Amino acid sequence: MKHYTPTNPERWTGRASDQAQYLHEKVALCNLEKEANFPDADQTFAILGYACDEGVGRNQGRTGAVKGPDAIRQQLAKMSNHLGEEIALLDVGTIGCPDGNMEEAQSSLAKMVSQLLAKNTFPILLGGGHDIAYGHYNGIKKFLAAKGKKTTLGIINFDAHFDLRSNENGNNSGTPFYQISRDCKRDNTKFKYICLGIRKDANIKALFDTAKELNVSYIEQQHFNLHHLSNTKNKLERFIRGVDYIYTTIDLDGFASAYAPGVSAASPMGFSPDMVLECLENIIDSKKMISLDIAEMNPKYDPDHQTAKLAASLIHFVMHQ
């Protein structure tokens, strides 16, 4: 399978116990190039890496996110396991981009996401640049189309950036949601997108104009905090009511650099983990979330693995709700 690499078991190590007390003792590694029998479980989480920062480089960002997936795995492995025996945790490997062909990597990612959803798993994708979103979205779209029923997919993005840049001069980590909007227009489907944590100092005026033109909902960073939690939840719940399924994407560069220094575009003027956890709880409670990804993990700039630990904690929270 092009672009695909099974996960090295050394990425899943930690303190040993005799009762699967830690996630490295719970996880099962699957090589999808071989016959992979998925467990018969009440619920299955499938971890899939996207080792690509080609889009970050094209977007003039600082590269290094190609090593993000394994950095997150290594921190998640050490965390306590509270999952019941009826819940399965799989690591199904990584889609890479060794030749710089990001578009092919995105296509491979989409194919695998669709396959994972068809096997009744909940995909958790680890990036990698935020160009992960275009491949991820297309995999979900393909899966929903195969169901034969017209549905509305909503995208919830925790991010400082709209990532609505035009792809007129090529695709990159700043264009995925613009590309999705163009595809929706072509397919005559609704583009339902909300972005939480937008910063004016990180988005030029033209991007706000694009967001308005595309009817994108957003909450600016200065209002995305616990002091405004009630208003945020009301807006989020209205968005959730208007869609059938939810794809959630968390760009780690939306967090303040005090929490997430190891990203492609760090800033002290970001949001806090507490605010994201509050919103995630609402999203999960809706029973509409179909898939999740974590983007822009850059271990090259991550002292004491702080950002990787944050990413792993977010995943741990989602799995244990």
Binding-site residue positions: 130, 159, 161, 163, 251, 253
Six-digit token pair at 282? 């609402």
Known binding residues for Mn(2+): 130, 159, 161, 163, 251, 253
β-strand partners of 194: 156, 217
CB-based contacts of 228, cutoff 8 Å, min separation 6: none
DSSP letters spanning 250-309: EEGGGB-TTT--SBSS--SS-B-HHHHHHHHHHHHHTT-EEEEEEE-B-GGG-GGGHHHH
- Measured CA to CA, the distance from residue 319 to residue 91 in angstroms comes to 14
Six-digit token pair at 181? 């909007």
Rg (CA), the chain: 18
DSSP letters spanning 4-38: EEPPPGGGS-----SS--BHHHH-EE--TTS----
- Measured CA to CA, the distance from residue 30 to residue 94 in angstroms comes to 11
- Measured CA to CA, the distance from residue 310 to residue 255 in angstroms comes to 10
